[in-house]
Amino acid sequence: MTGTSHATRRRGSRLRQLRRRVDNAMFTRARYSQPMMPVMCLLGGLFMPLYWFVWTYAVPQPYSNLWLHLAGCVVLLPLAAQRWWPRACKPWLPLYWYVAITFALPFFFGYLMLRNGGAIGWMAAHLFSIFITMMLFDLASFALIFSLGTTLAALAFQLGPHGAWPLHAMLQYTPVLALTLVLGPLASLSQKFGDQAKVKALIGASNNIAHELRTPLGSVQLAGRAIGRYLPHLLESHRLAEQSGLPVAALRSPHLQALQRGVGVIEHEVSHAHTVIDMLLMAARPMGSLQLETLHARACVEQALARYPYASRAERERVQLVSGPVDFVVRGSEPLLTHVIFNLLRNALFHTGRAGKGEIRVGLDSDASGHCIRVRDTGPGIPPDVLPRIFNRFYSYSEGDSGTGLGIGLAFSQNAVERMGGRISCRSRWGEYTEFFVTFPYQVPSGQGLSA
């Protein structure tokens, strides 16, 4: 029974991974098509009844069906208004997008082509629908939509009232269709190349940013240290000059305090800029091989919280390390784990800052599933339709008009944690909280005097 249950769990895990992969692929294609979706579907929905009028009265065809055209209009128009969909319905947008295009392009034009006897004009219209589908989807999605739409069109033709199959016309059409199916998908490969180019451009841009900024930042840092070293002597000389009655400009106490604080501000801002550059470089570049070492989780978390470049005292006070006896040992990379915590802190601080409320609690737990580092904030939470996508590369979300960034921080964090043998997950309730879990399996301490 134990072996059977273990095999069942493994099959269930594989099915969940496959479902998640398919869901992410559908979401990605729907997201790439989203900017053109409203206009395209609005025009398509409005042209559906117009085409029926044209094909019935202006250029009469052997077969035309008003209800089929109206069905296409009804299917497409909701996508034109997808911006106003209720939030509870938005997770279904990718699936609806696939279903609507399957009906409106390969099924609609394939069925009408068969009912109209494979006329040349309908073959051209069918080829047009294929090219549009190729432009909208990747190769795997196109193959699914085209196959399903074509099969349903053939079944509808066979099961409904129909004449003879237009075999002679279809034999003439087959070479053109085959050439289209062979050469057309090359256009969809451009999206894959585009993603690769985006990654290369990001790496190149991050390298250029690091190169162009680190030198002036280093100069600013040296200047700040020089000011911090000699400013006390200058202030003391000014004080002695005043006491001696020399004609020197008066410096009020607030001015002196501002000068002294300015040195600390320079050091802090330079440190913050260096950390942001490090986070960008680490998230953008391939990780390569990892040298894993034995780490104390609590020490890593404490050091990360201490090193994080908070923008203000208020930000620092918003973060609390939950005290407790829990500590554990993991096999990992300290720089990677530190930057994972940095990314989680950055997101929590950003969203609680935008919401103007909330606190951030960082803690460590151990349970039956393994050891866990938790980062919980009581900010605005993550919408249900966004939550499944937050680890997607280049996906970024915020309630405003723009995203929170490049969409690489959480994708990097997931990759980093998985490379260290762990997993990262998120639980959120919209309007209440967001909680990230960085979970590692139990480790037997190596012979270095470390204990969990």
Average pLDDT over residues 35-49: 88
Closest CA to 221 of 268, 279, 261: 268
DSSP 8-class letter at 323: P
Which of 17-31, 77-91, 214-228, 247-261 has the highest average model confidence (pLDDT)?
77-91
Q: Per the domain annotation, does 252 fall within a domain?
A: no
Residues 279 and 300 in one domain: no
- Of the candidates 132, 154, 183, which is a domain's last residue? 183
pLDDT of the residue at 75: 94
Number of Cβ within 10 Å of residue 356's Cβ equals: 8
Residues 201 and 167 in one domain: no
Average pLDDT over residues 255-275: 70
Tokens for 57, please give them: 């009265």
Q: How many residues does the chain have?
A: 452
pLDDT of the residue at 388: 79
- pLDDT band at residue 6 using 50, 70 and 90 as cut-offs: low
Q: Per the domain annotation, does 154 fall within a domain?
A: yes
pLDDT of the residue at 78: 93
- The 3-state DSSP class for residue 423 equals strand
Residues 146 and 90 in one domain: yes
**Least confident residue range of 47-61, 178-192, 217-231, 298-312:** 178-192
The range of the structural domain enclosing residue 8 comes to 2-183
The rounded percent of the chain whose pLDDT value lies above 90 is 21
Average pLDDT over residues 310-328: 83
At a CB cut-off of 8 Å and minimum separation 6, what does 242 contact? 248, 250
- pLDDT band at residue 206 using 50, 70 and 90 as cut-offs: low
Label the pairing between strands 329-332 and 370-377.
Answer: unpaired
The number of distinct structural domains making up the chain is 3
Instruction: Supply the pTM of this predicted model.
Output: 0.59
Residues 137 and 204 in one domain: no
